[in-house]
Amino acid sequence: MAFNVYTGESGGTTVPTAAQLGLEPPRFCAECGRRMIVQVRPDGWSARCSRHGLTDSKDLDQR
């Protein structure tokens, strides 16, 4: 089951305008829907789920 990383809803597709512009980091884990600890840096962001580990904006840029 997938969760919306901006709202935490199960299967939700709502994406805030700031997120569409790349200004908002994800706040919820896509795998479990738990709220993540988010660190915003001048060059991007990092988000840590207590169960699924770290996601970094630099990692997403490489894909």
Which tokens sit at 57? 């904006």
24 DSSP 8-state letter: S
Instruction: Kindly tell me if the per-residue pLDDT of 10 is higher than 80.
Output: yes
Which tokens sit at 28? 């919820």
Q: Is the pTM of this model over 0.75?
A: yes
Q: What is the pLDDT of residues 19-55, one digit of tens each?
A: 788 788 999 999 999 999 999 999 989 999 999 999 9
In contact, 36 and 3? CB cutoff 8 Å: no
pLDDT, residue 62, reads 64
Burial of 63 (0-12, 13-18, 19+ CB in 10 A): exposed
- As a whole number of angstroms, the distance between CA 26 and CA 28 comes to 6
